[in-house]
């Protein structure tokens, strides 16, 4: 991802002499947009594919951040999130994204229609803050949004440190009804003990594994089957991310994966488009 970020910057921003001047430009632009706006959310639908249903059913979404950076143009999260993480700005960014999402959920909750559960990506650094859960629950209460409308995606890195603040935040959020998903599962270096130790609800299998199924890569399929079996044994729901083909989709369904996300069923959508489709699905 770092290489890609660098290539992109070399392609689109030849005016920057080196990586560090590009980084400081991004940091400055992030500070500006955190104060003045410039971020948007896209929502990528998540589908329940469990057998015994007529077809995939839209059950919620994941919020993905989009940023038109002043002076830099449209900049993808794979580029600016690592930079925000290196400066601690990512905490402010997490808070900003969460506020935007809670604003959307508040609108949908107050207009009487059916409401989806939407996931937000939260960085490891935010979970180090002992008051993270408390502040988030306060924000939901102020906006009359039920905690079950929100879910949180964290990566294995968040759990690797075995920090008590991360565990405490997870337990408080879970107790309040917020589901926690392990994102990019399989790409960290962590021991698996946290899967038993913490009240997690979902395991999202990283796209790099999904790219290996539904074709001729038997080893790839064996790995995903093993992940699915382990998750089921631990009582975790499974989500496959980055599902791009019919072959991958059918394979996952036959192996008992619970949910899928990916271009095969839907790209990330504008929030208004997402809620329209979600409610259309409920009305039928
Ligand atoms: P992620 O959490 O693993 O999110 C999934 C990424 O895969 C998204 O990229 C999504 O657009 C992309 N994707 C979805 N379906 C497919 C598919 O079928 N094929 C392929 N090749 N890609 C697919 P995006 O939006 O560029 O985000 C990249 C990463 O940036 C995210 O990975 C997440 O780690 C981070 N990110 C995005 N939004 C936020 C945010 O609000 N806060 C934080 N802390 N991180 C964020
Ligand atoms: Ca995610
Ligand atoms: Ca992911
Ligand atoms: Ca990822």
Task: Write the ipTM.
Answer: 0.97
Q: Decide: 127 and 154 in contact? Cβ < 8 Å.
A: yes
Confirm or reject: Cβ of 123 under 6 Å from ligand 1: yes
- pLDDT profile of the chain (284 residues), mean per 10: 47 67 95 97 97 86 98 96 96 98 97 94 95 98 97 89 87 97 86 87 96 94 96 96 97 97 98 97 80
Q: Which residue has the tokens 């208004």?
A: 272
Place of tokens 């808070």: 95
**pLDDT score recorded for residue 89:** 97
Answer yes or no: are the C-beta atoms of 220 and 209 closer than 8 Å: yes
Contacts (Cβ under 8 Å, ≥6 apart) of 12 = 73
Considering only CA atoms, give the Rg of the chain.
Answer: 19
**Which of 4, 64, 118, 184 is the best mutation target for the ligand 1 pocket, counting ligand atoms within 8 Å of the beta carbon and taking the most?**
64
pLDDT digit string (tens) for 177-197? 999 999 999 887 667 888 888
Q: Is 240 in the pocket of ligand 1 (CB under 6 A)?
A: no
**What are residue 112's phi and psi, to 5 degrees?**
85, -15
pLDDT at 90: 97
Q: Kind and range of the H or E element at 174?
A: helix 164-176
How many CB atoms are closer than 10 A to CB 249? 23
H/E segment holding residue 179 = strand 179-185
Q: How far is CA 38 from the centre of its chain?
A: 20
Distance 49 CA to ligand 2 centre (A): 19
> For residue 199, how far is its CA from the centre of ligand 2 (angstroms)?
18
Q: Express each pLDDT in 247-262 by its tens digit.
A: 999 999 999 999 999 9
| Total-model pTM | 0.93
Determine the Cα–Cα distance for residues 66 and 69; give it in Å rounded to an integer.
9
């Amino acid at each position: 991802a770092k290489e890609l970020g660098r290539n992109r910057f070399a392609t689109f921003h030849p005016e920057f002499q080196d990586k560090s001047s590009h980084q400081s430009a991004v940091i400055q632009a992030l500070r500006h947009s955190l104060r003045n706006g410039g971020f948007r959310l896209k929502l990528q639908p998540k589908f329940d594919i469990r057998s015994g249903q007529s077809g995939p059913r839209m059950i919620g979404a994941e919020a993905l951040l989009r940023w038109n950076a002043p002076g830099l143009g449209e900049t993808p999260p794979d580029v600016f999130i690592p930079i925000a993480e290196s400066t601690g700005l990512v905490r402010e960014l997490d808070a900003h994204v969460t506020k935007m999402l809670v604003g959307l959920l508040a609108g949908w909750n107050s207009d009487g229609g059916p409401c989806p559960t939407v996931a937000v990506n939260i960085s490891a650094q935010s979970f180090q803050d002992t008051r993270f859960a408390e502040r988030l629950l306060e924000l939901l209460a102020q906006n009359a949004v039920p905690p079950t409308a929100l879910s949180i995606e964290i990566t294995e890195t968040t759990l690797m440190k075995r920090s008590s603040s991360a565990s405490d935040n997870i337990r408080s959020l879970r107790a309040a009804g917020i589901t926690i998903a392990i994102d990019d599962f399989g790409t960290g270096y962590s021991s698996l003990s946290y899967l038993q130790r913490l009240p997690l609800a979902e395991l999202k299998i990283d796209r790099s594994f999904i790219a290996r199924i539904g074709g001729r890569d038997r080893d790839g399929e064996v790995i995903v089957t093993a992940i699915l079996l382990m998750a089921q044994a631990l009582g975790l729901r499974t989500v496959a991310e980055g599902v791009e083909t019919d072959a991958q989709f059918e394979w996952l369904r036959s192996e008992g994966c619970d949910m899928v996300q990916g271009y095969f069923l839907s790209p990330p959508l504008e929030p208004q488009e997402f809620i329209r489709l979600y409610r259309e699905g409920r009305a039928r």
